[in-house]
Structure formats: structure tokens, C-alpha cells
Amino acid sequence: MLNKDLRLNSKTFNKGVELIPTRNGYGEGLVELGEKNPDVVVLTGDLAESTRVLDFAKKFPERFIECGVAEQNMMGIAAGLAAAGKIPFVSSYAVFSPGRNWDQLRVSVCISNLNVNIAGAHTGVSVGPDGATHQALEDVAITRVLPNMTVVVPCDSFETKKVTLAAASHKGPVYFRFTREATPVMTTDATPFEIGKAEIFYDSQSTNHQSQVTRSVAIVACGPLIYEALVAAKELEGSGIGTIVVNNHTIKPMDEVTITKVAELTGAVVTVEEHQVMGGMGSAVAEVLAKNCPVPMEFIGMQNSFGESGEPDELLEKYKMKSKDIVNACKKVLSRKTD
């Protein structure tokens, strides 16, 4: 099941699941950046501990700005800092940033293509008991539509740290999202990561995997739900259905070459995301394939609904984002394939 070339986390796949919140990688990345680059500045809206920027604040207090519950002002401050040559990281819950300050993001940051990095925490229904008001499910849609914006959805804590480090030297604004709950660690420090380049995490016919089943469907996923996609791939293979699982972490600019290739190889695609299916990663994949390789598609994610309070796993179950739901979507899309 493991693609050794990617140097994924064998502990997760072979010895039990290692769980770490993706937001931890953000905090670790900021501290490392702070030590290397004196221009890095961190801002938050009264959420230093929750967004994991507290360690940066303690170590570099002169480069930490507590903006209070004033997210629109915070984005304006970040724009001014970037215009003056600093590298600001704006840290809040995604429903507040980019949710509440979208106008400032659009006008003050994106129009001028400033190097502002926006970290959106507490995304998806796995936020849990905080409920619909705090479960960001629209943030990818409202950011990817903005010109000059880069949008990334890391899969685990290691990849979140890599996004944080890469964003500091990336030209233009970057939005990346992460979750509250501890989620499976699928990668390692050595796993390749590059903004704009999708990675194939699993292939039924790869040189490192001896399965003889034919690739029948590509599962294109982002964020921690990639783990559910990998579990689904293993189950599907047991019933003779081969898959390719893609870690499509960069929603914009999307890796059109890889997405088109896996669609050509399989002839069917299922997208998986903890976000509204309308306007999210799945919609972006559909846009790519409509131009390059139209194939039957199914979409796993929130189906035009808000979330609610509950335990994270209960909510993923209710809103059909678990491995069994991915399996069912794969079987459904296969029934629509034409040879």
C-alpha cells in the first residue's frame, strides 16, 4: 500500500495510526522561520494558543502582533507590513479569516499581489462541538476565486509545516487551511512537497506495489481525508478494483498535468475534501478535466449543508466523508464509465 518513493509514514500504515493536529505543524514552521528570517511577522485575532502561534509570540515578541477580535483590521495591518517588505502570517479561525475579512483580503492584499500568508484554522466539520458557526466549509471557494491567490490544503502536520516554510518565500498571497483535531500523520520530513505539484500517494500498479488489478478509478483528495481515501483504496483493491490516490494539496494553481494524467489512466475520478463540494477542490478538478479529459466524476464533501455540533468522527460519518462513503462513490462512478 505504501509508495516508498514518497517516503511516507510507515508507522501510520503498518503499525497503527499516529495522530497529530495539523495546526501543530504551523506553529513549528513559524518558529523555524522566525529563527531564519527577521522579516517574518505573525498576527492573530485573540487566538494565539488555538492557532499554535504562541511559541512564536514568546520567542519573538517584537515580531508578534495581537490584533484582538478585529480580523478586518488585522488583514489591513498585514497588507501594510507586506508593502513595507515584511512577511506577515495572519492567523485565525478560517470563518473569521478569510471569512470575515474577505473584502480586505481582496482589495488590500490581492489587488496589489502582496506577500501576505493567511492561515485558516478550525476548518471542516471535524471542528466538532463548536458547531456550524465555527466550521469553515467555504474558505477554499472564496479564496481560490481571487486573482493572484495561491490556495493549499495540507494533509498532515508535516505537510502543514512545509507549506508554512514555503509560503514565506512564495510570491504573492497564500491561503492554507488546517484542522483542530489530531489527524493521521501520513508523511515524514523526507516526503516531497512543492506548491503546485500533486503527489501520487498510492497506485495499484506502481513498481512498489505488486497488485495485478487494473486501475479503474482515481481518488483525488486533499487534507486529512486523504487517510480515508487510502483506507478506501485498500478495501477496493480487496474486491478487485484498482485505484490511484492523489494528494492534491494545491488547489490553486492546480497541477493540471497530474490530474489529467490520472483521469486518462483510469477513466473515472472521485474527489474527496472536507469542504463544500460546490466551489471547492472537487469543482476545481472538474474545471481542469472539463478542458482536458472529461470523465465521470463523483464528489465527496459537504453536500450543500452547514455542519452542526457533535464529535468529529460522528460528523464525518453523518455527512458521508468516511472511507466507506469513498468506496461507495468509487463503485457508483465505475457504473457510469463507458469503455
The residues assigned a catalytic role are: 71
Measured in whole angstroms, how far is the alpha carbon of residue 126 from the centre of its chain? 13
CB atoms within 10 A of CB 103: 11
How is residue 182 written as a grid cell? 489530531
Query: How many whole angstroms separate alpha carbon 181 and alpha carbon 70?
Result: 25
Q: Which helix (H) or strand (E) holds 242?
A: strand 242-247
How is residue 101 written as a grid cell? 475579512
In the three-class reduction of DSSP (H, G, I as helix; E, B as strand; rest coil), residue 156 is classed as coil
Closest by CA position to 243, among listed 133, 130, 333: 333
Query: How many whole angstroms separate alpha carbon 150 and alpha carbon 159?
Result: 16
Query: Each residue of 321-332: b (16+ CB within 10 Å) or e?
Result: bbbebbbbbbbe
User: Is the four-CA dihedral 264, 303, 224, 46 of positive or negative sign?
Assistant: positive
Q: Which helix (H) or strand (E) holds 59?
A: helix 54-59
Beta-carbon contacts of 104 under 8 Å, excluding residues fewer than 6 positions away, are: 72, 75, 76, 79
- Return the bridge partners of 89, or none: 42, 117
Q: Are 175 and 250 in contact (CB under 8 A)?
A: no
Instruction: Using DSSP bridges, classify how beta strands 269-276 and 215-221 pair: parallel, antiparallel or unpaired.
Output: parallel
